[in-house]
Amino acid sequence: MSIEYKFPEGFWWGSAVSATQIEGAAAEGGKGLNIWDYWYAIEPNRFFEGVGPETTSDFYHSYQDDIKRMKDIGHNSFRLSISWSRLLPGGRGEINQEAVKFYNDVINELIAHDIEPFVNLFHFDMPLEMQEIGGWENRQVVDLFVDYANVCFDLFGDRVHKWFTFNEPIVPVEGGYLYDFHYPNVVDAKRAIQVGYNTMIASAKAIEKFRSHHFGESQIGIILNLTPSYPRSQNPADLKASEIADLFFNRSFLDPSVLGSYPHKLIQLLEEHGQLPETEEGDTELMAANTVDLLGVNYYQPRRVKAKDHLPNPYSPFMPDWFFDNYEMPGRKMNKYRGWEIYEKGIYDIMINLKENYGNIGSFISENGMGVQDEERFMKEGRIEDDYRINFITGHLKWLHQAIEEGCNAKGYHLWSFMDNWSWMNAYKNRYGFFSVDLETKERKPKKSAYFMKNVAEQNGF
Ligand code: BGP
């Protein structure tokens, strides 16, 4: 079979997961509570079909077989996250030795199978005790996070060479402090902005700490969900709406992470509306000196915007949405299960933007994927024939390939996700995996896309 789309040598093929979404064993192995355990205990009705995070996909007990499966489908790299509340129950203090053993075993097993572990430190899972003292609103939590990060560098830094401070740090801001889909369910832009700002300080401080170890070739980065903003039209009002959406949802984290400072226009806008966060002396220098080595890009959907149809209610809470409306482009292609538009070229536009405006920083697609409901419908002779997922992946890979041809510095592609996992409030509604997971028996079965991925990885293209 001839290969039309060949990727650069050493391209990273793999997938990504997060601790809370796959480990299970939420009350085992000495783990402390995190905000998901707590929120589920007090409001189980907010989770799809009442399914909580206690067992999820049971990776805690089946990681050895799962890692074999990764090898079987050609993974050369795999991203996991460490659970802060498992390693340091309560968020600080004594190290949980059972957690050390678990993460050591996972890391060693991956390496034994020639799969490079990419390790992320925070994936939406604040330890409950840290949330109780204010979470990211409290600068003390920032310092405790850096202590936790340092414990991870000490324990695993000899074998882990790709670290990430945060996955999608904007999501806890949006979910927890603006739009009510994460605990603590606050709606308050001023607090949201403080949370976002302190998260960036936490990232910069963790990077500073990492570099003090002098790990040689090892790299540290951040993973951002970049949702390119497309205006409805070239009308100046639509263009302005799209520029502001981009400032809020992309550049708020991209600029400080890669360039070391916030966009001037964002600061101005927040100042005009009395929304600037509290800062401390030395913050500006800290951010400027501790930008990332590597950028993970999560891409699922574009953001289409238009000028507002109506003025915002002046008595409503201040929101980014005061400056734009979402635009439902007629004829857009939808993943109707997740309610997200599919726009493959977005991946190319992101990469070109990184090349032109962000120094062509080394990057990779750290998440891309398609969550589909009731996938058993597509079962034929015991296998889920997920051709829609294969089409989704190839559509995006073609554009990624094009970007690389044009000189973009993209080094890999990780699917969300390796196996079906627990999607926060959506629990197991939409399935994302190369492998299906039976929720009763926890049995894994490869879908058609698993075989497809194996071929792509083995041929380094398709
Ligand atoms: C990203 C997150 C993942 C994952 C994925 C799919 O935003 O980093 O944790 O869940 O999206 O989204 P969802 O689970 O909401 O369908």
Average pLDDT on 426-439 reads 98
Residues paired with residue 79 on neighbouring β-strands, in sequence order: 16, 118
Cα–Cα distance, 173 to 102 (Å, whole number): 30
Beta bridge partners of 222: 295
Would the pLDDT of 226 be above 90?
yes
With a cut of 70, say whether residue 350 has pLDDT above it: yes
CA of 262 to the centre of ligand 1 (A): 26
Does ligand 1 have an atom closer than 6 angstroms to the CB of 386?
no
**pLDDT tens sequence across 80-108:** 999 999 999 999 999 999 999 999 999 99
CA 223 to ligand 1: nearest atom: 8
Mean pLDDT of 411-417: 98
Q: Which residue has the tokens 């405006």?
A: 357
Q: What is the pTM of this model?
A: 0.98
**Tokens encoding 169:** 């740090």
- The finding on whether 426 has its CB within 6 A of some atom of ligand 1 is yes
- In this prediction, residues 268-291 reach a mean pLDDT of 98
The candidate with the shortest Cα–Cα distance to 189, out of 327, 321, 326, is: 321
What whole-number distance in Å separates Cα of residue 221 and Cα of residue 214?
15
Average pLDDT over residues 288-304: 98
Q: Which helix (H) or strand (E) holds 305?
A: strand 303-306
For ligand 1, whether the C-beta of 15 sits within 6 Å is no
* Closest-lying ligand 1 atom to the alpha carbon of residue 369: 6
Instruction: Report how far residue 392's alpha carbon sits from residue 370's, in angstroms, rounded to the nearest whole number.
Output: 7
Please identify which residue in the block is written with the tokens 């293209």: 461
Quote the mean pLDDT of the chain.
98
Active site residues: 168, 367
CA 122 to ligand 1 center in whole angstroms: 14
Q: Is the CB of residue 302 less than 8 Å from the CB of residue 323?
A: no
H or E stretch covering 295: strand 294-298
Query: Candidates 120, 416, 422, 432: which one to mutate for ligand 1, based on the most atoms within 8 Å of Cβ?
Result: 416
* Residue 127 DSSP one-character state: B
Residues 6+ apart with CB under 8 A from 386: 372, 375, 378, 447, 448, 449
Question: What pLDDT score was predicted for residue 198?
Answer: 99
Residue 11 to residue 27: CA distance in whole angstroms = 38
pLDDT at 314 over 80: yes
**pLDDT, tens digit, 9 for 90 and up, residues 334-346:** 999 999 999 999 9
First-to-last CA distance in the chain? 9
Strands 325-326 and 303-306: antiparallel
pLDDT over 70 percentage in the chain: 100
Nearest CA to ligand 1 atom 10: 423
The helix (run of H) or strand (run of E) holding residue 97 is: helix 97-112
How far are the Cα atoms of 76, 259, 402, 412 from residue 6, in angstroms, in the given order?
16, 31, 11, 12
Indicate which residue's Cα is closest to atom 4 of ligand 1.
423
Supply the pLDDT for residue 27: 97
Structure token pair of residue 95: 């190290």
In whole angstroms, give the CA distance from residue 151 to residue 12. Answer: 27
* 131-149 confidence digits (pLDDT tens): 999 999 999 999 999 999 9
- At residue 271, the pLDDT reads 98
Q: Give the Å distance between the CA of 292 and the centre of ligand 1.
A: 22
User: Residue 337 class from Cβ within 10 Å (0-12 exposed, 13-18 middle, 19+ buried)?
Assistant: middle
| Mean local confidence (pLDDT), 314-339 | 97
Contact 177, 150 (CB under 8 A): no
Mean pLDDT of 411-425: 98
- Alpha carbon of 5 to those of 343, 392, 396, 409: distances in Å? 19, 15, 12, 16
**Which pLDDT tens digit goes with each residue over 238-252?**
999 999 999 999 999
Q: Look-up: residue for tokens 């390796």?
A: 418
User: How many residues would you count in the chain?
Assistant: 462
Q: How far apart are CA 214 and CA 384, in angstroms?
A: 46
Quote the ligand 1 centre to 249 CA distance (angstroms): 16
In 7-125, where do the E strands start and end?
Answer: 12-16, 77-81, 116-120
141-181 pLDDT, tens digit per residue, is: 999 999 999 999 999 999 999 999 999 999 999 999 999 99
1 has pLDDT over 70:
no
Amino acid at 353: N
Overall average pLDDT of the 117-139 stretch = 98
CB 28 within 8 A of CB 83: no
Ligand 1: atom nearest CA of 124 is: 9
The answer to whether 305 and 242 have CB atoms below 8 angstroms apart is yes
Average of pLDDT values for 187-215? Answer: 98
Structural domains in the chain?
Answer: 12-459 (3.20.20.80)
Q: Say if residues 14 and 414 touch (Cβ distance below 8 Å).
A: yes
pLDDT for the residue numbered 331: 98
Output the CA 174–ligand 1 centroid distance in Å: 13
Q: What is the pLDDT of residue 2?
A: 83
Q: Is 18 in the pocket of ligand 1 (CB under 6 A)?
A: yes
Give yes or no for residue 301 CB within 6 A of ligand 1: no
424 Cβ below 6 A of ligand 1: yes
Ligand 1 center to 419 CA (angstroms): 13
